[in-house]
Every structure is written in C-alpha cells, then in structure tokens.
Amino acid sequence: MLRKSFFGLLVIALSAGFAQSDSTVPQPSRDGYALLDMYIAAFQQWASEGSGGRDVVVAKMNEIMAEAKRLRSDGGIDAVFYARFSRFLAVNKLFFVPDPENMLQPIIEPELARFVMDKLGEEYKQDSIGQVASALAESVLDLQIYLDTKDKRKKMMDDIERKYSAPPKKED
C-alpha cells in the first residue's frame, strides 16, 4: 500500500506535463528533457500497471543515471544539470533503498530532510511519503525550468550585472 500511495502521489504531481520534447527546445537541452521523460514515463508505467517494487525502481534509477553519465561525457548535458539531476536520482534511490535493520537511517533521514527543506521550505516529517513525492515533483519542475531558461541565462546575468554594478570611476 505504501508503494502504491507513493507512486500515485508522484504520478499525479508529475503528470502536469513538466517534461516535454518540443522541437523548439535548443538541441543541447533535448538530452536533459529526455532524461526527465525517462523518469516520468517509468513512474507513469508503474502506477498504471500497479508494478514497480523497490528492486525495479532502483534498477530504473541506475539505468537513468548511466544514461545521464553518458550524456555528460558526450556533452549532451552540462555540469549544472548533471549535478542537480544526480542529486535528484540519489534521493530517489535513498528513498527506495531497503533498510529493514535501519542501519542507513542516519544517512537517509538527514538527506531526505535537507532535500525536503531545499525543495519545499518545510521541516521533514519522518516517513512522510507525500512530502517526499512533492519534493521530487518540485525537483523535476526545477530541472525543467533550468532547461527552459538555459539559453536565456547569459543575457539575464548580463542584465543583472549592468543593473547592480557600480558606475565606472571617473579619472581625474
């Protein structure tokens, strides 16, 4: 039941159409969108079929991470996207790691707490599936926004620098 609840919450959150493969997206970003699409499609499939136990989820996360590493080495995604996407997948994996003896709890719980705080601005409530699902969905949205604005970031930064930089000193 716990697994179905998590998958259901995550699919609802992700089904809002965050990732897209629009032909207007600049080519270097398409690989980032493809990674997001792989992730979302997997959860949609598991939710619709009622499948996707921990082993299946972890195996898919490993497959997606291998693809992200390949794309990073081929230049298909940049270092910023790779770092953010890697953390996103790591949190997914931590959430699904079987830990019946609670040996990993001192590692898992603080990371989930940091992730939830970073993404939602909320204190983490231990074992809150809804919070983690919301934080993961927010992370997908953040990754999507990064890709959507990547080609505009240089101009935006130049505008900020012009706006806030000190006027040039007058020489005597």
pTM for this model (two decimals): 0.77
Determine how many CB atoms are found less than 10 A away from the CB of residue 105. 12
User: Radius of gyration of the chain from Cα atoms?
Assistant: 19
Question: Residue 76 in contact with residue 28, Cβ under 8 Å?
Answer: yes
For residue 141, name the pLDDT band (cuts at 50, 70, 90): very high
pLDDT of residue 72: 97
Token readout for 67 is 């693809």
pLDDT of residue 10: 54
Q: Does residue 28 have a pLDDT over 80?
A: no
Separation between Cα atoms, residue 61 and residue 134, nearest integer Å:
18
